[in-house]
Amino acid sequence: MIKLLEEVDQIALLGLDAADLESWVKTEGQPAFRGRQLHQWIYEKGAKNIDSITVLPKVLRFNFRSKGIEIGRLVEVARTTSTDATLKLLLRTNDGDNIETVGIPTDNRLTVCVSSQIGCPMGCHFCATGKGGLQRSLKVNEIVDQVISIREAMKRRPTHVVFMGMGEPLLNIDSVLKAIKCINNDLGIGQRKITLSTVGVPNTLPELAELALERLGRAQFTLAVSLHAPNQHLREELIPSASSYPIDTLLNDCRKYLEITNRRISFEYILLGNLNDKQEHADQLANLIRGFQSHVNLIAYNPIDGEAYQRPSKNRIHAFKRQLEIRGIAVSLRASRGMDQDAACGQLRRRYVDRK
């Protein structure tokens, strides 16, 4: 159990399941039911700290605190709410940095967009997160807390989780898989309602598939691969890391992932006005993924201050979508949410840091 605590920075209980908590309290000389109590208060009641778990005796709470044991919750430092009710939270970590998470509600679902890193090393030119580089990867408790924080702030139970916030999840595979397991088993959100988005990291997709089967018992979450361009030349213009990971190699790794998991892959494509949104680009994209068990998710660009990229017109967006449909490609257009409150990933954190 000491090892388990080391995995969450030796202080955070958030991220441990009921069996882990029961085993840990036994090492503290406590009966197993104390572990079940901790589990209930952490995941169902959303306890902020050890002192708030009043079902525990005061002396036991004092003992835990004296050993540096905490739940591992983050602190809200800012929030914005858009006219469509999309909520973005800025949360402070224990070491004083900030991460973003977003709650996207509809009548029947609440999707939480979570971050996996503080900043991002990929440097995609159209993304606000990558402008400040990478500070570090997030720990399990810091990822899971984002889901609980949105649940509390919006007073609704999240139904879906997408790893589409700050950071590249495949550069933090260990913590991301542990977080998926916790979100699934302890927060009760099915794997099929969890999406992991990646711009692509060499030699990691087959590894992700194998590790998911080994650690989760199955790989039922959705893998979303961010293409954003239909050819290698244009992709390198938008995504610097693409120069070391050719698009053909990326697609071969996607095929290996599909073979291992038997799960359809979603390809994300951000539409940038007059750059990658032409009919010829739609045809190139259709040729690129032809025969693939896949789905294309189109995303109209959310403008970022100081960047020259433009959002395409509605006509260009729908023409691109129609062309893919004509070519027999399964495609959907993601509704833009929170545009009046700087919806693009990393903008709230960037604005907050700039003010300091």
Q: Active-site residue among 100, 142, 168, 268?
A: 100
- Residue 69: both structure tokens together: 């044991």
For residue 80, list its beta bridge partners: 88
Amino acid at 13: L
Burial state string for 267-282 with b = 16 or more CB within 10 A and e = fewer than 16: bbbbbbbebbbbeebb
Biggest alpha carbon distance in the chain?
Answer: 70
Distance CA 173, CA 207 (A): 9
Q: Which uninterrupted H or E stretch holds 272?
A: none
Query: 188 vs 159, 191, 204, 355, CA distance in Å?
Result: 9, 9, 27, 38
Q: At what angle do helices 173-185 and 205-216 cross, to 10 degrees?
A: 40
Per the annotation, the verdict on 100 as an active-site residue is yes
DSSP labels for 38-58? HHIIIIIS---SGGG-TTS-H
For residue 222, list its beta bridge partners: 195
- What are the catalytic residues? 100, 345
